[in-house]
Every structure is written in structure tokens, then in C-alpha cells.
Chain A
Amino acid sequence: MNNVNVKIENLSVSYDGNKVIDNINYSFYKNEITCIIGASGCGKTTLLKTINRSIEYDENVKTSGNILLEENGHFKNIYDISEVVLRKRVGIVSQNPVVFPFSIYKNLLYPLDYYTKLNKEEKKEKVINVLKKVELYDEVKDNLDKYADNLSGGQKQRLCIARTLLTEPEVLLLDEPCSALDVKNQDVIEKLLLQLKNEITIIIVTHNIKEAEKLKDKIIFMDSGKIIEDGVDIIKNPKSVALKDFLNY
């Protein structure tokens, strides 16, 4: 119980009156990777986006219930934290990487300039460190001033992860981060996540069961807005009909 980082209580979310998340209770633990699987439309991405309230970019969304975030041994409701602070603490990486229309270097300066008061050299050092962490440094070290939009999909995705890491989040949410990438890039990102979990809590939505098996500490299976099964070995020993169907599919 001590290690719970994000606790969800009676969470329901509706879009224009349609329920997409139906009364979910769950706890995510520190230094673990939790994978959320399920058919498309089951509400897994919605659940993820509710945790940092980015779901609320759409004005038609209504949520009820609580999401608690651990803070110095206590829990605090995320609806009592300002959205801006919450989104710094809970970072998100989306399916399609969005790079800013700047150079690679400036993309990474964007959060740094905002959050820190470091001088130029210190900033540069941070940028290089984070690029090394996502294994992008060797590929782009000569092109830091080039336009970031020219990078490949995999490189962009790693750049976006690096950008999010610079805000030093406590929880990292990933929405199908590898679905558009080739095998090589997938491996790099999976390796990176396994290494990152020593520092932060990771929640990842994926439709790729192999990937979930590789990364998991825990797996959640969702269907029609509800958590049907969860645990470590649900893929090897599926109990519910819905999960069996999903795995065969």
C-alpha cells in the first residue's frame, strides 16, 4: 500500500452523455510498468488521459470520482491541484509524436526555459544527457540546429519522450507509443521504459500483447469502460470470456 502512486476511485467519464469509463477503481504502483490492453473503443486511452486531465481539452467531457496522487506520503486529489502543476507531475506521450516547429535543440529548450533558470551551458548539458538517455544523441548530435520536423517517426517519438522527461514527471503516461514505429525503434523505446521505471511510475496503453508481456509488471484488461481483469499473468491464464476472445482475436 505504501508504494501506491496513483489511486483511482469510482471514476466515471462521459462524452456528450455517453459513458466511456464506468466506475473504475484501481491503484498504480511506484516503479512499475502497468500495461492497459483492450479492444479499440474500450476506454483505455480515455482512462490514461483522465489521469493528467488532458481529457478535458474537449469541453464536452464530464468526469466524476476521484484520482489521488501521492505526495510526501499523503494522497492528494488531482482535482485539487492546478491543471498546469498536475500535467508537469504526470507527463504524457501520445501515439503520434508532436514536435514543435523549432529546431531539435529548441524543442528541448522549450520546457527547460520554462521550468528552470539554468545558464546556457547547464541547459546544454541537460539536453545532451536526456538525448543520451533516449539514445538519440548519436543520431542527431551534428544536427541539433536542424528543423525537428525532418526527423523520422521513431526519432520524433524519442524526442517527445525526451521533452517530457525534461519536465521531470513523477508519472509517465504513454498512449501506444510504438504503434507507428518499426521493430528497431520499438526495441529502443521498450529498453528505455524498462530503464526508466527505476525512477518513475509508468502507465502504458497498448494493443500489442507481446509488447505488454515484455514490459509488464502488471496488466489491466479493459472492456466497455470497465476493468475486466488485472494482474501479472492474465495473458497466460485468462479467466473471462471477453479476454479470451480478445487474445484469440
Chain B
Amino acid sequence: MTDIKEKIFKNTIQVLMVLTLSILVFLFYFLIREAMPLFDYCKISDFLFGTEWMPVSFGNELKFGIWYFILGTVYVSFIAIIFGLVFSIGIALFITFSLNERLQKYIFAILDLISAIPSVVFGFFGLQVFSPIFFKIGVKTGNCVLLAGIVLTIMILPFMINSLCMTFFKLKKKYLIAASNLGIDKWYIIASIIIPESIKSIVLSTILANCRAMGETMAVMMVVGNAKVFPHLLGKGETIASLIALEMGTAIKNSPHYHALYAAGVVLLILTFVINQVVRIIGRDSE
């Protein structure tokens, strides 16, 4: 009797598990399926490296170049991880080495809260608080790539800090007491041992954070300006995610426009997926 129950239990779980793990396959399948028809209208190279985006025809030729959007995506997320790097290392060090366990818990709770704050709210915050500052220093409308990067920094911090803290906690256990017994200052140990030892995991977690940053939609869309131009630090730009969010609502089903948006989605998906796998493979070697 118990054997049968175990079997039923295990099989049920197995089925749902397999279903969960195969979601990724479905995701790729359906997106690619919707994206493929685009390439009847447009070559892959023109799609990826083209610089003009004219998805709806008013008598003119249709153009589906997403190169500027790819650049915009990379640019914005790059700014975010550069700022994020400084802040997350700083905060992770502070959490690991300056706080007792109770205070650590409070900070982690605050980080959980940050990652739960809706991205629209962050976008709104950026728009209301930072945008006027940029406007004053001469950026038209105040919205720009740098602003998007700053807003994005706050949003990816919890993720970066969590993964850095894991590394720092391990290293702290390994070295701090031994080194402290030699009478060396804590921050000297951090600078001379902990940081150099964790360079690799800092790099890996930064790249993973970059994945997150590239996929972020709403907050970036609200402050990046959304102009289909070559992105500049203090100029407008547009990311793949915001392109999809802005135009999906108006794209007619099965039109080239619609397929192009799916193709853009596939590019975004592959970009994050590939980066993720590469980091994972490099990270595994070091284990």
C-alpha cells in the first residue's frame, strides 16, 4: 500500500518537474516560430545590423534594423553594472565585515524590499527626481541613457549584493580569524586578501547581473527617451525590451512588424541565455 502511494507521489512530482524544466524549450520554440516569417521580408544580417526601423509602411520600404536597440540595451546595462559594481562591493563588504548577524538580517530584508519594489515605481522615481537634474545640466527633456543606467543600478543591486555576499562570507570564514590573529587591520585584510581572492566571482556575478539589466523593461523605458538613434551617454536611446513593450500593443497580428518584434525578443532571449551559460561554464571550472 505504501509502495503504491510512494509511486503515485513520485510520479506526480516527476511529471510536474519535467513540465517546469521544459518551459524553457517551449519558450524558445514558440518565440522562434513567430519570429521566423520575418526573414521572408528581411535578411538576418539586415535585421541584426541594420540601423533603420520602419516597421509600418506608409508607401515607403519596410526596414527592420535593430542594431541601435541592441547597442542601447548593451549600453544601458553596461552603465548599470559599472555603477552597480562599486556600490555592491561596498555594501557587500559592509554587510559581511561590519555588521553583526542581526543587522545583517535587517539589511537583507531591505534588499528583498528593493527587489520587490515595482519597476514602474523606480521609473517614476527616476523621472521625477533625477530627470529634472539632467534637464538643468542641458539634456533635452532630461531623459537619457545615463539616467536609465542609474535607475537600473538600484534595481540590480540586491541581486549583485546577494551573490557577492555569498563569496565574501566564505572567504571571511577562511581567512579573517587567521589573519586577525596576526594583528592586521580588518580593512587591510579585505584589501590585500579578500578582494584579490574574489575577483573571479565578482566578474561572474557582474556578468549575470548584466543579464538581468538587459531584460529590465518598464523602468528603463520610462527614462531612456525612446528615440531610434545611436545611443549616447547624455542622449536618448532605446532598448530591445522597451521596443517590444512600446510597439507590441499596436502591431497587427502576423504582420511583418509583429514578427519583427518576436525576432527582437528572440535576440534578447538568446543574448541573456548565452551569457548565462558561458558564465555558468566558467564558474563551474573553478569549483
Contact surface of A with B, Cβ cutoff 8 Å: 84, 114-115
- The answer for the CA separation of A115 and B2 in the assembled complex, in Å, is 8
Contacts of B2 in A (CB 8 A): 114-115
Q: Which residue of B lies closest to A117 (CB)?
A: B1
Contact surface of B with A, Cβ cutoff 8 Å: 2, 6
The 3 closest A-B pairs by CB, nearest first: A114-B2, A115-B2, A84-B6
- The answer for the CA separation of A84 and B2 in the assembled complex, in Å, is 10
Q: Which residue of A lies closest to B5 (CB)?
A: A114
- The answer for the CA separation of A245 and B231 in the assembled complex, in Å, is 81
Q: How far is the CB of B4 from chain A (nearest CB, A)?
A: 13
Contacts of A114 in B (CB 8 A): 2
Q: Which residue of A lies closest to B2 (CB)?
A: A114
Contacts of A115 in B (CB 8 A): 2
Q: How far is the CB of B5 from chain A (nearest CB, A)?
A: 10
Contacts of B6 in A (CB 8 A): 84
Residue contacts A-B, CB under 8 angstroms, 3 given: A84-B6, A114-B2, A115-B2
- The answer for the CA separation of A185 and B152 in the assembled complex, in Å, is 64
- The answer for the CA separation of A114 and B2 in the assembled complex, in Å, is 8
Q: Which residue of B lies closest to A115 (CB)?
A: B2
Contacts of A84 in B (CB 8 A): 6
Q: How far is the CB of A86 from chain B (nearest CB, A)?
A: 14
- The answer for the CA separation of A245 and B6 in the assembled complex, in Å, is 50
Q: How far is the CB of A89 from chain B (nearest CB, A)?
A: 14
- The answer for the CA separation of A84 and B6 in the assembled complex, in Å, is 11
Q: How far is the CB of B9 from chain A (nearest CB, A)?
A: 13
Q: How far is the CB of B117 from chain A (nearest CB, A)?
A: 36
Q: Which residue of A lies closest to B6 (CB)?
A: A84
- The answer for the CA separation of A115 and B5 in the assembled complex, in Å, is 12
Q: How far is the CB of B8 from chain A (nearest CB, A)?
A: 15
- The answer for the CA separation of A84 and B3 in the assembled complex, in Å, is 9
- The answer for the CA separation of A115 and B6 in the assembled complex, in Å, is 13
- The answer for the CA separation of A115 and B3 in the assembled complex, in Å, is 11
- The answer for the CA separation of A84 and B5 in the assembled complex, in Å, is 13
- The answer for the CA separation of A212 and B6 in the assembled complex, in Å, is 40
Q: How far is the CB of B143 from chain A (nearest CB, A)?
A: 55
- The answer for the CA separation of A114 and B6 in the assembled complex, in Å, is 12
